[in-house]
Amino acid sequence: MKRIFLLAMVIIMIFFCGCGGANSASTGKAAYRQVSSDQARQMMETESNYIILDVRTQKEYAEGHIPKAICIPNEVITKEAPALLPDKEQKIFVYCRSGRRSKESAQKLADMGYKNIIEFGGIKDWHGEVVTE
């Protein structure tokens, strides 16, 4: 009887608490928002006062980037807030080539206390304008 009660309690706890999903409450990590590149482009068309952050290498950035994007490579983003990102409340759209580095960078920024991070994957899925240096 005790075992059945304990098993029922465990099942109830898993049901109500989840089992380690990707949200910040269950992982204990700060959160960022993830959207598609098309959603990000629509947001950029209707909003203002945001930063577009390209986290690829400087060479990749020079080969083609979203207009007005700034480049801070993922490898440079560590535990200190980047000087080019002084406002932790400002909306920051983050992208890379395919989405892996942008997710890493978005998480690092969220962990540093940035509150409005929008990660939208890679430039390979971008359907908007691209410029070169």
H, E, C per residue of 92-115: EEEEECCCHHHHHHHHHHHHCCCC
In 3D, which of 112, 46, 57, 50 has the Cα closest to residue 79? 112
Out of 17, 19, 71, 96, the active site residue is 96
Question: How many helices (H) and strands (E) in the chain?
Answer: 5, 5
* CA distance linking residue 39 with residue 119, whole number of Å: 11
Is 17 considered catalytic here? no
Catalytic residues: 96
